[in-house]
């Protein structure tokens, strides 16, 4: 894995701010885009732009085939059937779609470690309970077992925490849910960009992720639905693309997944997502994961050595993926983020990271978060650790 060659594919890293390069440690929020993805978007607009599934002319046929080939690319990426792939705007829309369309009785089990998008949609019309975390910050499977004693329709669980970066035991969660007749939705927004996902081996019923966190544009996401589950769902958006025929007072719906993609979809976004997947596959997801692990191990080693820096979650690098959250004692996280940005263009996230209940559970306020991806280097981590050391030394406790 040639990191410098990879960095050369990203135009953003050619930019200089105040004469210094950008150190981008905010990929858990959104990733930068390689030329291959940017060029795919430009090529679509320049050569193939047309609406899909509605025309017999050349451009419409080309656009439709590119869109459906993108669906097949996504399906192969997670070992699904193309009919099980619904294109949506993002992870948030995918979860809202399931929460609205899935029919059945029983409570929803979420967890205290979830992103707001995997918490708030479930509570609008259903009873929701929340599984706790263990001493390391991962989902407490024993607490899950206890809460599953009550009739449960679905367990909604994040694969990798966007705050602690911890890899949750989703296989164990799915196994326990199965014993109790519950479905499982896996939020893979923070895992799909970094590791191989096999929905068949995992055994989940639904899996969701966003393109913008894995090199693709914003506004395109994926909902995987185990095919049998379509029988338990009803589309909630109606109109163009969702029907085979319509009459005053009656209609004939399209088959899934098309009936869940109302209106003109983000055609170019889906095609660019396929290009992003091709890019990651060319690198190899095993290599992506190994690079992540190496960066995480180095970051933990350097940051543990800094006095007055408090790290959250397990400090074992084998438990974590891409995200490290911390605070400098005596200094607010937003102040830390501003100093890193102003001094060395080190760009991190600060706040609650759309997971305020987890911060409440940990008994902490907002935090600083660094997150890494394929274009980050050991040298960047060394630079950040050096500057954090100076900040922490300067602050009087």
Show which residues are catalytic. Answer: 354
CB 156, CB 188: distance < 8 Å:
no
Q: Are strands 309-311 and 367-371 parallel, antiparallel or unpaired?
A: unpaired
- In angstroms, the CA 86 to CA 157 distance is 19
Sheet holding 128-131, edge to edge: 85-88, 221-225, 206-210, 183-187, 152-158, 107-111, 128-131
- In angstroms, the CA 274 to CA 334 distance is 36
Residue 335's Cβ-count burial label (10 Å; 0-12, 13-18, 19+) is middle
- Give buried/exposed letters for 321-330 (b at 16+ CB in 10 A, else e): bbbbbbbbee
CB under 8 Å to 159, separation ≥6 — which residues?
167, 168, 170, 186, 187, 188, 190, 191
CB atoms within 10 A of CB 57: 10
- Give buried/exposed letters for 196-208 (b at 16+ CB in 10 A, else e): ebebeebbbbbbb
- Find the farthest-apart pair of alpha carbons in the chain and give their distance in angstroms, rounded: 73
Helix axes 285-304, 267-283, angle to 10 degrees: 80
Gyration radius of the chain over CA positions: 22
- In angstroms, the CA 108 to CA 185 distance is 10
CB 324, CB 296: distance < 8 Å:
yes
């Amino acid at each position: 894995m040639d990191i410098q060659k990879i960095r050369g594919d990203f135009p953003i890293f050619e930019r200089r701010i105040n004469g210094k390069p950008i150190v981008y440690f905010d990929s858990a929020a959104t990733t930068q885009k390689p030329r291959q993805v940017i060029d795919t978007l430009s090529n679509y607009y320049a050569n193939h732009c047309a609406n899909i599934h509605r025309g017999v002319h050349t451009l419409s046929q080309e656009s439709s085939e590119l869109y459906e080939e993108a669906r097949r690319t996504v399906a192969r990426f997670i070992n699904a059937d193309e009919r099980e792939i619904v294109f949506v705007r993002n992870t948030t829309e995918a979860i809202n779609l399931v929460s609205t369309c899935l029919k059945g009785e029983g409570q929803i089990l979420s967890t205290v470690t979830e992103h707001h998008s995997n918490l708030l949609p479930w509570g609008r019309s259903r009873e929701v309970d929340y599984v706790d975390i263990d001493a390391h910050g991962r989902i407490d499977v024993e607490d899950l077992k206890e809460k599953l004693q009550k009739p449960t329709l679905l367990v909604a669980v994040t694969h990798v925490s966007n705050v602690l970066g911890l890899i949750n035991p989703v296989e164990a969660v799915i196994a326990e849910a199965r014993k109790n007749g519950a479905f499982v939705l896996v939020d893979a927004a923070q895992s799909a960009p970094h590791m191989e996902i096999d929905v068949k081996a995992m055994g989940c019923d639904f899996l969701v992720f966003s393109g913008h966190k894995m090199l693709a544009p914003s506004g395109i996401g994926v909902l995987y639905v185990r095919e049998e589950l379509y029988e338990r769902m009803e589309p909630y958006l109606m109109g163009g693309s969702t029907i085979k025929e319509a009459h005053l007072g009656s209609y004939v719906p399209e088959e899934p997944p098309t009936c869940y993609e109302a209106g003109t979809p983000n055609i170019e976004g889906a095609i660019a997502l396929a290009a992003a997947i091709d890019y990651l596959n060319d690198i190899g997801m095993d290599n992506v994961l190994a690079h992540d692990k190496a960066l995480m191990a180095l970051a933990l080693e350097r940051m543990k050595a800094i006095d007055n820096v408090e790290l959250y979650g397990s400090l074992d690098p084998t438990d974590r993926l891409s995200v490290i959250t911390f605070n400098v004692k005596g200094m607010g996280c937003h102040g830390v983020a501003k100093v890193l940005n102003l001094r060395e263009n080190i760009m991190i996230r600060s706040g609650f990271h759309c997971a305020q209940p987890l911060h409440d559970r940990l008994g902490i306020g907002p935090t600083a978060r660094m997150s890494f991806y394929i274009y980050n280097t050991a040298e960047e981590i060394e630079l950040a650790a050096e500057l954090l050391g100076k900040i922490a030394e300067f602050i009087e406790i």
